C-alpha cells in the first residue's frame, strides 16, 4: 500500500489480476482452523515429550482427513471433530441410520424460497451426502446490487466450547465489527448475529454479515452475506449486504435446515477431549523475563513489564527520551528454518548464527521501527533467542521516540549472552 | 484465562482462514492441496505461540509472515527432488471470476521460482512494501527489488504487457 503511488500500470494490472484470481479460491475454513489447531496441539505434545526435531516441518499428511466439514464460508466454527485427525469417514452403521440425503439442488431451492424477491445467479451447492458436507451459495440481486449469500451446516457438540465460540460475540481486538448480538431463543437455540467485515483489518469495504444458529441438539446452521457478488475479489456492489439482521435471523432459523443437519452422516467420535490452548513448555516466561531484565544496559528505567508468558517476555524501558518496547522470544526446535532466518546473517566461530535486522515495526502505524537481534545456538535443540526493540511503548502505538532505546549492538550483545543458555 | 485465550485464537483463526488460504493458493500457484496444508501448518504454529502472538504485534501480519516462511521452507525442502511444475495446476471448481484468467495467471506464477513468487504475492496481493517484504522473507531490501523486477519481467513475457482485460475493473 505505501508504495502504490509509485506503481507502474503493469504492476497495478498485476495486482488487480492477483486479486481477481485469489478471490476465486475458497476452502472449508472451519476445517482449516481445526486442522491447524490439531497440528498445534501435536507440536506442543511433542515438545513436552522432548522430541524437538522436525516440529516446524510441513507435514504433508492428513489434509484430506481434516477436510470433511461443511463450507465454513460464514462461520467462526472451531470443530474438534476434525482436530484429532481421526478418520472422518462416516461409520457404516451411522450412515445407515441417517435420514434421507438432501441434494445440493434442494438446498438451493429452499434457500431461494427464504430470500426476498430478486434474481439469482452463480448457484453452487453440495448435498448432505457430498464431501466435505452440505452448503449452498448463490448471488442474489434485489435490484440494488448483487450480493453473495451462503448457507452452511454442520453438527457440534451441545454445550461444548465450539458452541460458545460460534455464538458468542468475538473479541473486538481481533475481529472488528459494527454490531453483534448473541441471544438464546425460546427453543433453547443460541443465535449470533454479527455485522462484520470480510477482512478483519477492513482493508476493503467488503462487509460480511452472518447468522449462526446452534440448536440444543447441536445442529449448526450458518448463513452469511456480503455487499458484493463475491466474498473477495469483486468490487463492493452496495453499501450493505441485502438482508437485515431480522431477515438473516429468519433465514437461519428456518426449520427446514435442521433436517439438513440431521441428514449429514454421523462421523466417529473424536478420540480424547478438547484441551484448551496450552503454553509452550520450553522456557518459563518468568525466567525469560528475569533474564531479559538482568541483561538490560545501565541507565534504562523499566517502566512496565509483561506478565510472564510461555517463552516470551517484554519490558518497556525509558532512558529519559521516551518509552521503548523491548521483547524477547526464547524458542526451541528452530534449527530447521535456520536457512531462512539467517540468510543474511553471520556465523560465529562457535557455530552460533546471528542476524541483525532494522525494519518497520508495524504495518499500520507509520514510523514504527523494530530493531532485532536474532540468534540461534548450535545444537540439536535449535535454541533461538530473538530480542527486538521498538521506538514505541506498546504494540500499535504511535512512535514515542526517534529510534529504539537500545542499539542493535546492544541487542546483539544481549541476545548472545550466555545467561540464556541457562534456559536451554 | 486459558479458555479465553483459546477462544481468542479460534476467533482469530476463523477470521483469517479465508484470506490466508487465498494467499496460500497464490503462493502455490493454484496447488490447493498444498495451500490447505500450508494454512493448517501456519495455524498450528500460531497455536503454539498464540500467547505471545496475541499480546504483542499484529497477529494478522504475523500469520502472513508465518505462512510465507512455511511455504519457502517447504519449497526449499522439496526443491532437491522436484522440478518446478510445467503442468497446469489442479484447479478447483471455485466460485467466480474469469476461469481463463485464473489459469493463465496461475500458470505464469507457477513458472516463477518460489521466492520470486513469494515476492510477487507479498508485494501485489498483500500490498507490502519492499522493506516489509524483505522482513517477511528474511532477505535484504535489495534482494527483494532484484527478485521483484525479475519476476515482473518474466510475468510480462508470459502474460503480455496488457493485463487490462484481466483486471476486472
What pLDDT, in 10s, does the model give residues A289-329? 889 989 999 888 888 886 555 567 788 899 999 999 898 88
- Comparison of pLDDT for A155 and B81, the residue scoring more: A155
Residue of A nearest to B157 (CA): A10
Give B35-82 pLDDT, tens digit per residue: 988 999 899 888 888 877 776 567 888 899 999 988 988 877 655 333
Residues of B in contact with A38 (CB under 8 A): 40, 44
Numbers of helices and strands, H then E, in chain A? 12, 14
Residue A272 has pLDDT above 80, yes or no: no
CB contact under 8 A, B138 and A343: yes
In angstroms, the separation between the Cα of residue A14 and the nearest Cα of chain B is 7
Residues of A in contact with B167 (CB under 8 A): 12-13, 16-17, 20
Residues of B in contact with A339 (CB under 8 A): 73, 76
Q: Choose from B17, B31, B60, B98 for mutation: most chain A CBs within 10 A.
A: B17
Concatenating the DSSP letter of every residue in A293-344 gives: HHHSPTT-EEEEEPPPBTTEEEEEEESSS-EEEEEEEEESS-GGGHHHHTTT
> So where are chain A's domains?
14-262, 285-423
Residues of B in contact with A36 (CB under 8 A): 13, 39-44, 46-47
Closest partner residue to B10 (CB to CB) among A35, A44, A76 is: A76
CB contact under 8 A, B19 and A122: no
SS3 at position A73: coil
Closest partner residue to B14 (CB to CB) among A10, A77, A277 is: A77
Residue A194 has pLDDT above 90, yes or no: yes
Q: How many domains does chain B have?
A: 1
Residue B84 has pLDDT above 90, yes or no: no
**Nearest CA to A365 among A329, A390, A389, A387?**
A390
In angstroms, the separation between the Cα of residue B110 and the nearest Cα of chain A is 13
In angstroms, the separation between the Cα of residue A172 and the nearest Cα of chain B is 10
Contacts 24+ apart (CB under 8 A), B139-146: B139/A343, B139/A344, B139/B115, B140/A344, B144/B119
What distance separates the 2 farthest-apart alpha carbons in chain B? Answer: 55
Closest partner residue to A39 (CB to CB) among B10, B44, B138 is: B44
In whole angstroms, give the CA distance from residue B136 to residue B118: 10
Query: Which cell goes with A163?
Result: 458452541
Query: Which cell goes with B53?
Result: 502472538
Query: Which cell goes with A26?
Result: 475458497
Residues of B in contact with A357 (CB under 8 A): 135, 138
Residue B17 has pLDDT above 50, yes or no: yes
CB contact under 8 A, B18 and A198: yes
A199 touches chain B (CB under 8 A): yes
Kindly provide the ipTM of the predicted complex, given to two decimals: 0.85
B153 touches chain A (CB under 8 A): no
CB contact under 8 A, A20 and B98: yes
pLDDT bucket at A381, cuts 50 / 70 / 90: confident
- 231-260 of A, contacting B, C-beta below 8 A: 231-235
pLDDT of residue A89: 32
Sheet holding A353-360, edge to edge: A301-305, A312-318, A323-331, A384-390, A369-376, A353-360, A346-347
Give CA separation, A194 vs A16, A74, A94, A149, in Å: 29, 10, 34, 14
Residues of B in contact with A203 (CB under 8 A): 127
CB contact under 8 A, A17 and B163: yes
Q: Which CATH architecture has domain A285-423?
A: 3-Layer(aba) Sandwich (3.40)
pLDDT bucket at A49, cuts 50 / 70 / 90: very low
CATH number of residue B44's parent domain: 1.20.140.160
Give B128-145 pLDDT, tens digit per residue: 988 889 888 888 888 899
Range of B91's domain?
2-167
In whole angstroms, give the CA distance from residue B128 to residue A176: 22
Concatenating the DSSP letter of every residue in A2-47 gives: TTGGG--HHHHHHHHHHHHHHTT----HHHHHHHHHHHHHHHHHHH
CB contact under 8 A, A161 and B47: no
Residue of B nearest to A28 (CA): B18
Q: Calculate mean pLDDT across residues B109-114.
A: 89
In angstroms, the separation between the Cα of residue B99 and the nearest Cα of chain A is 8
Residues of A in contact with B34 (CB under 8 A): 60
CB contact under 8 A, B168 and A76: no
pLDDT of residue A404: 95
Host H or E run for residue A360:
strand A353-360
Query: Which cell goes with B49?
Result: 505461540
In whole angstroms, give the CA distance from residue A40 to residue A58: 12
Cα dihedral B47→B48→B51→B53 (10° resolution): -70
Amino acid at each position: 500500500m505505501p508504495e502504490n503511488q509509485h506503481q507502474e500500470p503493469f504492476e497495478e494490472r498485476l495486482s488487480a489480476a492477483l486479486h481477481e484470481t485469489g478471490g476465486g479460491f475458497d476452502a472449508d475454513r472451519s476445517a482449516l482452523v481445526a486442522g491447524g489447531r490439531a497440528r498445534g496441539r501435536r507440536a506442543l505434545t511433542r515438545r513436552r515429550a522432548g522430541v524437538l526435531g522436525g516440529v516446524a516441518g510441513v507435514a504433508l499428511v492428513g489434509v484430506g482427513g481434516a477436510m470433511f466439514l461443511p463450507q465454513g464460508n460464514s462461520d467462526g466454527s472451531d470443530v474438534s471433530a476434525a482436530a484429532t485427525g481421526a478418520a472422518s469417514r462416516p461409520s457404516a452403521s451411522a450412515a445407515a441410520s441417517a435420514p434421507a440425503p438432501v441434494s445440493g439442488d434442494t438446498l438451493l431451492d429452499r434457500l431461494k424460497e427464504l430470500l426476498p424477491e430478486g434474481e439469482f445467479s452463480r448457484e453452487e451447492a453440495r448435498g448432505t451426502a457430498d464431501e466435505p458436507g452440505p452448503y449452498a451459495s448463490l448471488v442474489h440481486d434485489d435490484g440494488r446490487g448483487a450480493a453473495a449469500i451462503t448457507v452452511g451446516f454442520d453438527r457440534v457438540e451441545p454445550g461444548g466450547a465450539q458452541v460458545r465460540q460460534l455464538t458468542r460475540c468475538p473479541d473486538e481486538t481481533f475481529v472488528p465489527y459494527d454490531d453483534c448480538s448473541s441471544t438464546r431463543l425460546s427453543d433453547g437455540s443460541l443465535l449470533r448475529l454479527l455485522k462484520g467485515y470480510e477482512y478483519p483489518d477492513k482493508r476493503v469495504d467488503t462487509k460480511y454479515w452472518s447468522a449462526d444458529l446452534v440448536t440444543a441438539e447441536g445442529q449448526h446452521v450458518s448463513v452469511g452475506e456480503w455487499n458484493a457478488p463475491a466474498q473477495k475479489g469483486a468490487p463492493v456492489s452496495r453499501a450493505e449486504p441485502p438482508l437485515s439482521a431480522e431477515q438473516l435471523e429468519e433465514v437461519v432459523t428456518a426449520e427446514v435446515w435442521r433436517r439438513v443437519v440431521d441428514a449429514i452422516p454421523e462421523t466417529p467420535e473424536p478420540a480424547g477431549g478438547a484441551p484448551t490452548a496450552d503454553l509452550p513448555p520450553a522456557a518459563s516466561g518468568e525466567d525469560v523475563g528475569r533474564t531479559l531484565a538482568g541483561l538490560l544496559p545501565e541507565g534504562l528505567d523499566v517502566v512496565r513489564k509483561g506478565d510472564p508468558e510461555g517463552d516470551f517476555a517484554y519490558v518497556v524501558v525509558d532512558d529519559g527520551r521516551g518509552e521503548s518496547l523491548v521483547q524477547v522470544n526464547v524458542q526451541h526446535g528452530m534449527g530447521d528454518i535456520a536457512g531462512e532466518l539467517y540468510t543474511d546473517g553471520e556465523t560465529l566461530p562457535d557455530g552460533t548464527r546471528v542476524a541483525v535486522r532494522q525494519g518497520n515495526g508495524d504495518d499500520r502505524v507509520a514510523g514504527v521501527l523494530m530493531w532485532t537481534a536474532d540468534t540461534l545456538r548450535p545444537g540439536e535443540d535449535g535454541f533461538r533467542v530473538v530480542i527486538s526493540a521498538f521506538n514505541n511503548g506498546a504494540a500499535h502505538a504511535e512512535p514515542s521516540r526517534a529510534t529504539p532505546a537500545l542499539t542493535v549492538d546492544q541487542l546483539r550483545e544481549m541476545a548472545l549472552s550466555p545467561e540464556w543458555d541457562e534456559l536451554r | 484465562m486459558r479458555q479465553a485465550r483459546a477462544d481468542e485464537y479460534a476467533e482469530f483463526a476463523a477470521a483469517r482462514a479465508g484470506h490466508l488460504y487465498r494467499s496460500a493458493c497464490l503462493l502455490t500457484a493454484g496447488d490447493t492441496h498444498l495451500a490447505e496444508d500450508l494454512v493448517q501448518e501456519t495455524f498450528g504454529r500460531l497455536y503454539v505461540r498464540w500467547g505471545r502472538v496475541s499480546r504483542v504485534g499484529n497477529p494478522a501480519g504475523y500469520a502472513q509472515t508465518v505462512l510465507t516462511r512455511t511455504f519457502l521452507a517447504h519449497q526449499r525442502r522439496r526443491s532437491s527432488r522436484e522440478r518446478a511444475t510445467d503442468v497446469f495446476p489442479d484447479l478447483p471448481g471455485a466460485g467466480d471470476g474469469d476461469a481463463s484468467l485464473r489459469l493463465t495467471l496461475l500458470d505464469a506464477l507457477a513458472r516463477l521460482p518460489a521466492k520470486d513468487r513469494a515476492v510477487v504475492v507479498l508485494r501485489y496481493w498483500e500490498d507490502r512494501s519492499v522493506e516489509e517484504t524483505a522482513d517477511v522473507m528474511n532477505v535484504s531490501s535489495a534482494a527483494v527489488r532484484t527478485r521483484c523486477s525479475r519476476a515482473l519481467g518474466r510475468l510480462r513475457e508470459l502474460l503480455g504487457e496488457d493485463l487490462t482485460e484481466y483486471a476486472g475493473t
